[in-house]
Amino acid sequence: MNPTRSISIAVLLALFTASAFSDGAKTRAQVRAELAEARRTGNIIGAGEAGVELNALFPSAYPAPVGPTKTRAEVVEELAEARRDGDILASGESGEMLNEVHPQLYPAPIHLAGPSRAEVRAELAEARLLGDGPIGEDGLTPAERHPLQYAKVRAAHGADDEHLASSRAAAPAR
């Protein structure tokens, strides 16, 4: 290796290490604390070529993150409600709930009525008139595909871009 090349490599190496440690340099104690925390939580890449962290490879060996827990009173209240409604597994291997096995012993679930068939058909007719639906394969409504065609109708009905955006958000994704 020629001396000019080795000197330039040494200078570049010195500049690199100086710049690497000048910004937010950590103390040895901070690095050791971070390493200990990473070992404890399994946030270290496991051996081998997979490149997967240890907590993903062996989830049972590392503690799960602790989130907010319920109080004893909340759990007791939930259990009382489940007993009252029959939302407890029935004995045996069927996997059914008590309110499914013995529906006569528990209150019937309350089903809220939705819009009538006529109301739904009227909403669909208005949406078609304004070009708000149905959404095509390209993900656009007819009004978005052909804005000039629907401009007069939308202006007459007072439909604006907010109405268009709310109808798009309410439409089911296909």
What is the reported pTM? 0.31
User: Per the structure, how many domains does the chain have?
Assistant: 3
Structure token digits, residue 35: 């390493």
In this predicted structure, what is the pLDDT of residue 17? 65
Cis check for the bond before 65: say yes or no (omega within 30 of 0).
no
Instruction: Give the contacts of 81 (CB within 8 A, at least 6 positions apart).
Output: 87
Same-domain pairing of 57 and 85: no
Amino acid (1-letter code) at residue 24: G
User: For residue 49, what are the domain limits?
Assistant: 3-61
pLDDT in tens, the chain (174 residues): 566 666 767 666 666 665 555 556 788 899 899 988 888 888 888 777 677 888 888 888 887 767 778 889 999 999 999 999 999 988 887 889 899 899 899 888 777 888 999 999 999 898 888 888 777 788 888 888 888 888 888 888 775 555 544 544 554 444
In this predicted structure, what is the pLDDT of residue 162? 52
Same-domain pairing of 38 and 9: yes
Q: What are phi and psi of 27, to 5 degrees?
A: -80, 165
Q: Please tell me the distance from the alpha carbon of residue 151 to that of residue 16, in angstroms, as a whole number.
A: 62
Question: Is residue 110 a part of any domain in this protein?
Answer: no
DSSP type of residue 60: G
Question: Is residue 112 a part of any domain in this protein?
Answer: no
Q: Please tell me the distance from the alpha carbon of residue 99 to that of residue 88, in angstroms, as a whole number.
A: 8
The neighbour count for residue 72, using CB atoms within 10 Å, is: 8
Question: Is residue 67 a part of any domain in this protein?
Answer: no
Question: Is residue 10 a part of any domain in this protein?
Answer: yes
Same-domain pairing of 17 and 51: yes
Same-domain pairing of 20 and 48: yes
